[in-house]
Amino acid sequence: MRDILKCFLCLFVGLSFLSCGEIEEDTQPTLSVELPDRYYDTSGLLYEITDEQVEELLNLDFPGDWYNEEDPELRAKYYHAMLIQRFGDIPAVHIDAIFYRLSLLADGKPTEVSIEDLILHAKARYLLWPNESNRKVLEDTKKQKIWRETDDPELYAELYTETLIRWHGDIPEVHIVVAGEKKKKFGGWRIATDADKNEYVEYLRAKYVLQPTEYFLCIYNVFKEARDNGTPWGVAIRKKKETCVEGGLEELLNAALEDAELNPE
């Protein structure tokens, strides 16, 4: 039995990737952010697949319209066979096949995936399909990890702004959201004056513009009403917890990455 990748299947999706070589540099311009070597460290991450399973996939005669197969497990198996017959028995093939299977089993339901897993999958996709779209996904995902973990407020704002501009364009709401998230991450919001309340409500409005879900609309309406009516902020906070149902903290990011990953060419 050969060690390639370890996949954890539980309530949330998780997997790790054993590096299959350095990714070739392309001629496209890249953003000027130094990416530490530790973000490429995938040592000790295992996945067990037998020689017999690999042999079966290499010799599987799948239909030309395999993507129309209704059984998710069989469809995932066809996809795995298609990849391994096209690219060979390499780790990138197996990790992409696992993500494809998990996406089929999720059946459209939100699935939480760690940023480390997203990076590893993006590396695999770019190795298999080294195009500009997959390069951007890989670069953005690595930078997302940095801006999530950095203790530098300015670097956090720079990387977050780059990502949001790429998704939404250079619109005012992008900069309002970045300023608000920066304030929340580094010290927290301090609501002491009417000006503070106005700034916070404008931040919530901008956040809803970028991520128009019922959850963010509910939060905006709760605090806007509190500001307009002079309601104590503590009352608004309690009302938000009671009435606004969260739909997933990473819905927007995961949806964007998934869209790019599922359309490699």
In tens, the pLDDT along 169-181 reads 999 999 999 999 9
43 with 143, same domain: the answer is yes
Q: Express as a percent the part of the chain with pLDDT over 90.
A: 39
19 with 129, same domain: the answer is yes
Q: How much is the pLDDT for 174?
A: 96
Q: How much is the pLDDT for 256?
A: 44
The low-confidence residues of the chain, meaning pLDDT below 50, are: 1-46, 248-265
- 112 domain residue, yes or no: yes
Rounded Cα distance between 95 and 126, Å, is: 12
Q: How much is the pLDDT for 13?
A: 28
Structural contact between residues 207 and 216, judged by C-beta atoms closer than 8 angstroms: yes
Q: Considering only CA atoms, which of 83, 88, 16 is closest in space to residue 47?
A: 16
Residue 112 structural domain: 2-148
71 with 58, same domain: the answer is yes
- 259 domain residue, yes or no: no
Q: How much is the pLDDT for 30?
A: 32
135 with 166, same domain: the answer is no
**SS3 at position 6:** coil
- 27 domain residue, yes or no: yes
In 115-204 the beta strands, taken as DSSP E runs, fall at none
142: tokens are 């690595």
Rounded Cα distance between 115 and 263, Å, is: 20
**Based on the structure, what is the number of domains in the chain?**
2
- 257 domain residue, yes or no: no
